[in-house]
Amino acid sequence: MLRGSAFTTETNKLYIFVENNKIFGELGDKSRHNSDNFQCVLADKFEGTALSKTIPINFETFRLINFNKCQDIEFMINSDLGVIKITLTRNKTKLTYIVSALIN
């Protein structure tokens, strides 16, 4: 996603959705016409109920979170409330971030 953000300079919205049992992320702005989009697979598998709708998130939030060198990364998404809980584990340290979705 970070490399793809170089192509989508007009927006910082990240849309998270499930398709074919994979979690995808799409950078772009669905509320604007003629904007560049970049899409890729974020996870090849997931546990739980598939997302019933697309969740828009501010991409800058993910840019600020340092995912490097983490042995374990867990995302928990509550699509009804529009909240994502991100838990990163590295060695004996566990960091938890709470991210709210943008209004779609």
Tens digits of residue pLDDT in 31-52: 777 777 888 888 888 888 888 8
Q: Which residues does 62 contact at the CB level (< 8 Å), separation at least 6?
A: 1, 14
Report the 10 Å Cβ neighbour count for 77: 22
pLDDT of residue 100: 92
pLDDT at residue 98 is higher than 90: yes
pLDDT-above-90 percentage for the chain? 11
User: What ranges in the chain are assigned the alpha helix state H?
Assistant: 59-64
pLDDT at residue 104 is higher than 70: no
Q: Which fold has domain 4-100?
A: DNA Polymerase III; Chain A, domain 2 (3.10.150)
pLDDT of residue 62: 80
pLDDT at residue 102 is higher than 80: yes
Q: What length is written for the chain?
A: 104
